[in-house]
Structure 1
Amino acid sequence: MARVVVGLSGGVDSSVAAHLLQEEGHEVIALFMRNWHDETVTIHDECPWIEDSNDAMLVAEKLGIPFQVIDLSEEYKERIVDYMFSEYEQGRTPNPDVLCNREIKFDVFLEKALSLGADYVATGHYCRRDEIEVDGKTVYRLLSGLDNNKDQSYFLCQLNQEQLSKALFPIGHLQKSEVRRIATELDLVTADKKDSQGLCFIGKVRLPEFLQQQLAPKKGQVIEIAAGTEIPKDFSRLPEQNEWSEKAAPFAFSADLGSVKGEHSGAHYFTIGQRKGLAIGGTPEPLFVIGTDTEHNLIYAGQGESHPGLRKEALFVAADDVHWLREDLSLKSGEQSSYMARIRYRQSLFPVTLHATDKGLYVLFEEAQKAVTPGQFVAWYQGEELVGSGVIQF
C-alpha cells in the first residue's frame, strides 16, 4: 500500500481520516502545520494552536503513527498574510482558506510530504476525488462531499491536476455524524471537539486587530443610499464592451447619491454584504455594506438584503485569474457553457452561463445574486464535480 502523510490539525476530521487510511493498510505519517506565531491577534479560547498540536499528538499516539510539528509560518506569511493585507488595502476581500489549500497544504506541505517519500497527502476535507480517462489520459476529478452541510469542495477550487493526483480525502463519503461516531468508538481526544471557525491552521482571528498590523484605522463617512435610488454603472472599468460586460459592470457609487449616516474606522476593514460592525441603528431595516471606496475612505450602505445596490446579474473574472481543474473542459474565446455555481462557501448552487472572451470570463446568473464580492472566488460545477473557478474582479 501507499505511504500517506496526513495533515493532522488537532480536529476530529483529520483524526478520523488518519484512522481510515490505516484501516486500508497504508503507512501513515502525521504532520501538524504551525503557520502562525503572533498570538496577539488570535482568540485563544476559540482555537489555541498549542492545544491543537497537543491533541494531534495524542491522536497520533493513540493510532500508533509517527508525528511531527513543522513550521511553515514564513511561507504562510509570504503567500497568505501579505496577500491578505494587499487585497484589503485595495478594497477587495480575499479568501485565505482557498489560498491556504493552493499555496500551503497542496504546495509547501505537499513538497515536504514528498521529501519524506510519501505517495500522497491526505486531509480531513469533506470532498472526494476520483479519476477517469479522457482521450487515453488520466484525468482527476474533484467531487463534492456527500454530507451536503459540510461539503468543502469550494475551498479546493484552485487545485490543479498535479495537486489532485497526490491528494486523498478519506472522509469525503461520510456524514459528519459518522465521523464523530468513529472518533468516539476509537476514544480519540478530538471526538467531541468543536469545529474550528478560524483562518486555515491559525485559529479564530480578530480581523480588525489583525488588519491593523499593516492597515491603520482611518475615520470616514458611511453614506446611506436609499433603495429607490438609480445607481449608475462604472463602464470605464470594463476591459471591453459587449452585452455581458454591461451586466457585469461594477456600480459607480458616489457620495451625492445618498446622505451621511455615520462614521467608520476604515473602509479597508469592511466587505460587501457585511452587516455587523457598522454600529448604526435606527433604520427600519438593517444596514448592509453595498460598496467600499478605499481611495476616498467611504462606505456605502443600504437597507435590507433586497437593496438593488447589493445585487448583480453577472460577474467578471480576468483571463489570468480563470482556473480550470478540468483543463479538457476549458472554454476558448467565443465559447459558452452552462454550469451551476457558487460565490461563497455553503451557498446553494445556482445556474449560470459562462461566456469566454480574450479578456476573461463573464459569469451570467439566471437570477440576480447578492453580495458579489471582488477578491472572492466563483466556482462552477457540473453535477457533483467542481470543474473550474476564478477570482471575482467585479
Structure 2
Amino acid sequence: MKRVVVGLSGGVDSSVTAYLCKEMGYDVIGLFMKNWHDDSVTISDECPWLEDSNDAMLVAEKLGIPFQTVDLSKAYKEKIVDYMFNEYQEGRTPNPDVLCNREIKFDVFLKIAENLGADYVATGHYCRKSSFEKEGKTIYQLKAGLDNNKDQSYFLCQVSQNQLAKILFPVGNLQKEDVRRIATEQNLITANKKDSQGLCFIGKVRLPDFLQQKLQPKQGDIIEIDANSSIYKKPIEANSELEKLSHKYNYQAADGKKVGEHNGAHFFTKGQRKGLAVGGTPLPLFVIDTDVETNTIYVGQSKQHPGLKRRGLLVKPHEVHWVRTDLALAIGEKMKVAARIRYRQKLEHAELHLTHQGLYVIFENPQNAIAEGQFVAWYDDDELLGSGVIA
C-alpha cells in the first residue's frame, strides 16, 4: 500500500480528499498544519485554527486514520508573512496563497510527509494532474479543476515538476456539490461547513487591519487624474513595440488635482474602489496607481479610465517559472497562450515573447489594473504551463 499524507485543514474539501484516498486503497495519514499563532500581530479574538484543527481531528477519527498537528508557524512567518509586509511596503501587491502553496504546502509540508514515509501528499485543491512520457522522461501536467467556479490551478502556478510528481488532487474531477454530498453521505462533521475566507491559513482577517499591525498609517494625498489628461496623449518613448505595449505611466501630483487624503499608500492596490472615502464624483473612483515614495495615491473615474488599461506586462528573467519546463521558450521565441493576471479572471488570449529584458505577456485586449507583485499565469487550453511575478 502506498502511503498518502493528506493536508487536513478542517474544511470539507480536504475531508473528502482523505476519504477518497482511503477508498482508493492508500495508507492515509491526516496532518493539520498550524501556521499562525503570533500574538504580536493580533488579527481577531477568534482562533480559527483551534476550531479547524478540532474538526480535522474529528474527521480523521471518523475515517479511522492516524492524525497529528505540525507547527509550521516559524516557516510561515518567514516565508509568507514577512514577505507580504515587505511587498506592501514597497508598493506591490503580493499573492500569499500562491506563495503558501509553493513555499509551505508543497515544500515544508511535503518534506514532513516524506519523513513520515509518504509516497504522495494529497490536498483538497480543485485541480487535476496527468502525465505522459517524452524522450524517456515522465512529464507531469497541471490542469484546471472540472468545476469552473472552483478551479484553483492559478494558486498552484508556481509548483515544479518535482513537486507535481508527489501531489494528488482527488477532488479535482468533482463539482463542489458532489464533494458536499460525499461528506454528507459519510457523515463528516465538515459537510456543511462554509468555505474558509481570508488569507491562506491566517483565517478571518481584513487585509488592511492585518497590515496596519506592522505598517504604520501615514497621511498622504489622493490625486485625481482626468481621463482626458495630456499624459495619455503624449507619444510613448520605448525601445520596442513590446516595451511600448507594456508601458506604465508615471504620475506626478501636478498631473491632477487633490480630491482627498488617505492613511498610507501601501494599504491600497491598483484597481481598488473601496476604502477611498472620497465622494461627489459623477463616476466611481478607482486607484490607478500608488507611489509609496511620495505616499501618494492616484485615482481616476470609472473602470474604463485609461490609467487602468494596459495590453502588456513584463516578468523579469529570474521571476519566470515554467511548470512545463520542456516547453520553456528560448530568447527570441514566442508562444500563443491564454493567460490571467488574477484568480477567477476568465482566460484571455495573449502571446508570450522571451527577450533579454524578460518575458513579455502581450494581451489581445487591454487588461484592467495590472498590479506589480501579482502573478500572471499562462495556459494551453485547461493546462497551466507557467507563471511569473508582474514587474
TM bin (shorter chain): over 0.9
Shift of 1:292: 0.2
Q: Which residue identity does 2:301 align to in structure 1?
A: Q
Answer with 12-21 or 132-141: which moved more: 132-141
1:235/1:63 CA distance change after superposition, 3 Å: farther
Amino acid at match of 2:319: D
3-state secondary structure, aligned to 1:202? coil
- Within the candidate set 286, 307, 310, 1:309 is matched to 307
Distance in 1 separating the partners of 2:295 and 2:339 = 32
Q: Deviations over 1:324-377 (max 9, x none)?
A: 000110010000010000000010000000000122100001000001000000
Amino acid at match of 1:244: L
- The TM-score, its normalising length taken from structure 2, stands at 0.97
Partner in structure 1 of residue 382 of structure 2: 384
Change (3 A) 1:25 1:249: same
Q: Which amino acid aligns with 1:158?
A: Q
Q: For 1:8-62, what per-residue CA distance to the aligned partner results, in whole angstroms no more than 9, with x for missing partners?
A: 00000000000000000000001110111135543456x7111111111111111
Q: Which deviations, in whole Å up to 9, do the C-alpha atoms of 1:109-168 show, x marking residues without a partner?
A: 000000000000110000011111112210000000000000000000000000000000
Residue 262 of structure 1 is matched in structure 2 by 260
2:126 alignment partner AA: Y
- Aligned equivalent of 2:367, options 331, 346, 369: 369
Per-residue deviation, 1:212: 2.3
Q: For the residues of structure 2 that align with 1:193 and 1:230, how far apart are their CA atoms?
A: 53
Q: Does 1:249 align with 2:250?
A: no
8 Å contact from structure 2 (residues 311, 363) kept in 1: yes
What TM-score, normalized by structure 1, do the two folds share?
A: 0.96
Kindly tell me the number of residue pairs found equivalent between the two proteins.
389
In structure 2, C-alpha distance between the alignment counterparts of 1:16 and 1:269, rounded to whole Å = 37
Q: Give the AA of the match of 1:285.
A: L
**Structure 2: any 5+ residue segments left out of the alignment?**
none
Tell me what 1:140 maps to: 140
Q: Work out the CA distance in 1 between the residues paired with 2:44 and 2:307.
A: 34
Structure-2 separation of matches of 1:342 and 1:300: 24
Q: Secondary structure in 2 aligned to 1:37?
A: coil
Candidates 319, 322, 325, aligned match of 1:324:
322
Give the Cα–Cα distance (whole angstroms) in 1 for the partners of residues 236 and 78 of structure 2: 34
My pick for the range that moved more, 269-278 or 226-235, is 226-235
Query: Would the aligned equivalents of 1:234 and 1:251 in 2 still touch at CA under 8 Å?
Result: no
1:177-204 superposed Cα distances (whole Å, 9 cap, x missing partner): 0000000111111101111111111102
| 8 Å CA contact 1:234, 1:249 repeated in 2 | no
Distance (Å, rounded) in 2 between the aligned partners of 1:309 and 1:186: 52
Q: Could you say which residue in structure 1 is the equivalent of 2:36?
A: 36
2:288 maps to 290
Provide the C-alpha distance between the structure 2 equivalents of 1:44 and 1:158, rounded to a whole number of angstroms. 33
2:206 paired with 1:202: no
Identity %: 65
Seen in structure 2, the aligned counterparts of structure 1 residues 377 and 21 have a Cα distance that, compared at 3 Å, is same
User: What is the CA RMSD across the aligned residues, in angstroms?
Assistant: 1.5
Q: Distance in 2 between matches of 1:100 and 1:355?
A: 28
The residue that corresponds to 1:171 in the other structure is: 171
What is aligned with 1:68?
Answer: 68
1:234 shift after superposition: 11
Aligned to 1:186: 186
Provide, for residues 293-334 of structure 1, a one-character-per-residue CA deviation record: whole Å limited to 9, x for no partner: 000000000111111101101000000000000011001000
DSSP 3-state at the match of 2:158 = coil
Regions of 4+ moved over 4 Å: 232-236
- Aligned residue for 2:112? 112
Deviates more, 1:381-390 or 1:277-286: 277-286
The unaligned stretches of length 5 or more in structure 1 are none
Q: Is the 8 A contact 1:43 1:203 kept in 2?
A: no
Q: Is the 8 A contact 1:43 1:206 kept in 2?
A: no
Secondary structure, counterpart of 1:195 in structure 2: coil
* TM-fit CA distance, 1:235: 7.6
Do the aligned partners of 1:100 and 1:200 also contact (CA within 8 Å) in 2? yes
Distance in 2 separating the partners of 1:231 and 1:171: 50
Pick one of 320, 332, 335 that aligns with 1:334.
332
Corresponding residue of 2:22: 22
Are the aligned partners of 2:198 and 2:206 in contact in 1 as well (CA < 8 Å)?
A: no
| Inter-partner Cα distance in structure 2 for 1:31 and 1:44 | 25
Partner residue, 1:224? 224
- Residue type of the partner of 1:50? L
Q: Give the distance between the partners of 1:123 and 1:234, measured in 2 at CA.
A: 50
What amino acid is the match of 1:350? E
Q: Give 2:12's aligned amino acid.
A: V
CA–CA separation in structure 1 for the residues paired with 2:276 and 2:226: 17
SS at structure 2 position matched to 1:108: helix
1:235/1:111 Cα in 2 relative to 1: closer, same or farther (>3 Å)? farther
